[in-house]
Amino acid sequence: MLGAITLLLACQLVGEVITMATGLPLPGPVVGMALLFIGLLIRRRIPHGGDQPEVPAELEQTATGLLSHLSLLFVPAGVGVMLYLPLIAEEWLPITVALVASTLLTIALTALVMSWLVRLSGNSDNGGDSGDDGDDGDGGHGI
């Protein structure tokens, strides 16, 4: 477990160094996560002498443990919001407009990207022949 935590923290540190050195407008942990992902992809391509899993068991166990307690990581952010409550109360209208606008923009962009990906893959509900007769046993409810 210590080795897996060390690996995760090392990836985060390298990500921070890369973002500071290059001026990337990304959080260091995001770059570190991408580096870890690339490392796992490379590891999968290298032939191993036995039956090795794609993700080391120790890393998977550590990541699962961290994810099970993910909600605790939001406590500092919540405390930070509470510190600025008077400012938030004063600037509630611009904050609300920004939140609503960004939410609507995110939904619209997600729909556009999804429709682009469906067109790109050639599978649409009424166009492409995916070999599926459309009867998935849900009575047409889409669930």
**Other residues' Cβ atoms within 10 Å of the Cβ of residue 32:** 22
Q: What is the pLDDT along the chain (143 residues), one digit of tens a residue?
A: 899 999 999 999 999 999 999 999 999 999 999 999 999 988 887 776 666 677 888 999 999 999 999 888 888 888 888 999 999 999 999 999 999 999 999 999 999 999 999 998 886 555 545 555 555 655 555 55
Separation between Cα atoms, residue 70 and residue 92, nearest integer Å: 28
Residue that is written with structure tokens 């985060």 in the block: 12
Domain layout of the chain by residue ranges: 1-68, 72-125
Residue that is written with structure tokens 């669930």 in the block: 143
Asked if 32 contacts 13 with a C-beta cutoff of 8 angstroms, the reply is yes
